[in-house]
Each structure stands twice: as structure tokens, then as C-alpha cells.
Amino acid sequence: MEKFQLFAHPWWVNLLFLLPFVAYYSFGRSLQMAKRTLAAAALFGIAFGFVEAAVVVYLRAATGMLPGYAGAISSSGTLPEQAQVVSQLAKNLFTIEVFREIATLIMLSSVAFLAARTFKERCAVFLWIFACWDIFYYAGLWATVHWPGSLTTPDVLFLIPVPWYAQVWFPILVSALTILVVLSRRDT
């Protein structure tokens, strides 16, 4: 088990912790979203989280970063070790990963656009789907390859505009708080 680290890297990634609180005050109590809209959006986020987990398992196996494969580099090293692994990826693989992340954001945004009518509600649905996707991405990884080993396992969170690193507890906490915010601000 890794030692608990409070901060993500680079420093500005830590500002994501403020996202649920900013959303809470920005949304007000006027989110007009049907339960079935949130349920369908959650199902999309959950399913897409598992698809993303499967893709990452395949990528890590293909690049030798999945423990248990011959000559593999463990993907559960410290944050500086993970930064070194990412920097050693072939440029074309890194580029593909960046475009995959852009495509992911476009897909999540598209569903949010289709699911809601106003800008505020589309933002709420996007955050809702993103949070469900993020939590079930880690659940999918754990269910398939038993990774992460703990909430203090370091991970590469995102690559745009530079690689973001944090322990797994950080994105899960931000996502869980975001789900609670959307539920609490929905006009019943």
C-alpha cells in the first residue's frame, strides 16, 4: 500500500476538488432533469467506464505495463515512476491516447447535449456522466485485473494538456461528490 498523498500533480489538478462545490452553488435548485434521464445517463457512464477500463487493460498489456505479463512494468509505481513510464511511451501511442481522451470528452458531451435542454442542465448531465464513468472505470479495472490495489495507488488521470497524476482516491472522491451535488440540486 502506498503512502497517502494529499496532492495531485501538476498543482492545478488539485483545483478539481473545488468542482463539486462550484457546481453546487452554480446549479441552484433548478435542475429540471427527469429521473429516467439521469438513470439513462448513468447507465451510459457506467457502461462507458467499463469499456474504458477494458481499453486500458488492453493498452497496458500491449505496452508491457500490466503486471503479470512477461517483462511488464508495474503500473502501480509511485507518481514519479508513473511519470517516467508515460514519458517513455512511443510518441505515436501518446498521441493516440490524447486523441482517445478527446474522443471520450466529445462522447460524454454529446450525450449531455442530447439529454438536456439548457446549458446548466447539460453541464450537470456532463458532470453526472463523467462522475459515473470515472467511478466505474476504476471499478471495471478492479473487477478485471484487481487494480488498483488500494485507494492510495497512484494513477495517470489524464494527458491533456500534460499528464495528470494523483492517487486513486482523488478522482473517486471528486466524482462521488459530483454525483451527490447533481442529485441534491435536481428539482424534484
pLDDT for 71? 41
| Helices 169-185 & 119-145 angle (0-180, nearest 10) | 140
Peptide bond into 67 cis (omega under 30): no
Q: For 28-186, where are the E strands, in sequence order?
A: 154-158, 164-167
pTM, two decimals, is 0.86
DSSP 2: P
pLDDT for 57? 87
pLDDT for 85? 59
pLDDT tens figures, 33-76: 999 999 999 999 999 999 999 998 888 787 777 766 544 434 45
pLDDT for 70? 46
Query: Measuring CA to CA, which residue among 131, 127, 123 is closest to residue 173?
Result: 131
Low-confidence ranges of the chain (pLDDT < 50): 70-75
